[in-house]
Structure 1
């Protein structure tokens, strides 16, 4: 039962041993030409306002020490995660963000680049982060261990948080959907209402998780400057 349940996340669609599931990540390339219209549509105006709001927020988080243009990287990160999260809500489209292969590929290089930059250019500042201000001398060795562990697991927590949230909602929708054929006609209406409510919740989770991923990445970046 569990094997069949989790099989919906298997990247199994292929033609001549060429996996096609991951192509869902690049479907957005097909709609890019609409962005080059002379008169922007309402969709473009709304999206530009969202990006401007994110730019201001990330600038605030980075502070004065942040490099110019670095917000573009985090806005792009937010956009690609949001796009893939929403794609996964459509039937028969592979959810790439429900796999650690995708989420770790985003989180690990980002965190590693921050760490290398911080330890190479701001070594004393990085050492100071290992011992919070006001820590008693007797607790300093323990605090160094705790801070080091919490720093090392950051890419893992970023990746697992996004993956777990995507899997949990999709599994719940799948479980409820599989019970439909076995229910009485009167209960199917209730099931449809619950499914629609869960779909709205999943849409909110898709937005929130992409925002959380981008904001936490911005905070980790601000610590190494």
Structure 2
């Protein structure tokens, strides 16, 4: 019996007080067959094309002064988020990205490293970002305050956006699923169709939210130089 509606998202499975639910983050590795690394299979070709597309996409958004290979950091983040979001759609698998523990742990160090690198190496450039071009002198002090606050809350918005989207879809699927036993046969068939459509939507959301997280991280890094 659930004590609260959100208890389905609690990492409660444990052995010797060690939570086992977080091991779901590594389940994506099981989807990679051993031959994936040895022979150029169809999966390998599709995966290489996806990586190349993401690389070209991120390269356009990044500053030309950025270091070579920086795009692969964001490709790795996209891959991790997509696997975790997708694995959470399977029954009885804990969705690690529905917790701020994981999303904030990724967003905060990444944003902090950008800020430290920018303020240490490009201090004047970072100051210019606080006052947008064309700002009237009377509004400059307010713009500095607004830009500073918006910059500080960036890791929080990154983490909360992903967590909220993951929780919302799973919660809706759970609520609709719990109403099944009390429905008539005709309504159950309608419920199943609705659940299938929602599952397709959540599959798209899993990929889109991973893409949004990595794209915004790329944009934040491009402002440093």
TM over 0.5: yes
What is residue 8 of structure 1 aligned with on the other side? 8
Residues 98 and 162 in structure 1, CA contact (< 8 A), matched pair in contact too: yes
Structure 1 alignment gaps of length 5 or more: none
- SS at 1:68's partner residue? coil
- Contact conserved, 1:59 with 1:66, CA < 8 A, in 2? no
C-alpha deviation, 1:34, in angstroms: 3.4
In structure 2, the residue matched to 1:157 is 157
Structure 2 equivalent of residue 118 of structure 1: 118
Q: Any residues of structure 2 matched to 1:1-225 within 5 Å, and which?
A: 3-32=3-32, 33-38=34-39, 40-225=40-225
Distance (Å, rounded) in 2 between the aligned partners of 1:31 and 1:171: 26
Q: Secondary structure at the match of 2:4?
A: helix
| TM superposition shift of 1:2 | 8.4
Counterpart Cα distance in 2 of 1:108 and 1:34: 36
Equivalent pair of 2:28/2:87 in contact (CA under 8 Å): no
Distance 2:84 2:208 in 1: 13
TM-score by length of 2: 0.96
The C-alpha deviation readout for 1:93-129, integer Å capped at 9, x for no partner, is 0000000000001100000000000000000000000
Aligned residues: 224
Secondary structure of the structure 2 residue equivalent to 1:67: coil
The offset of 1:43, in angstroms, is 1.7
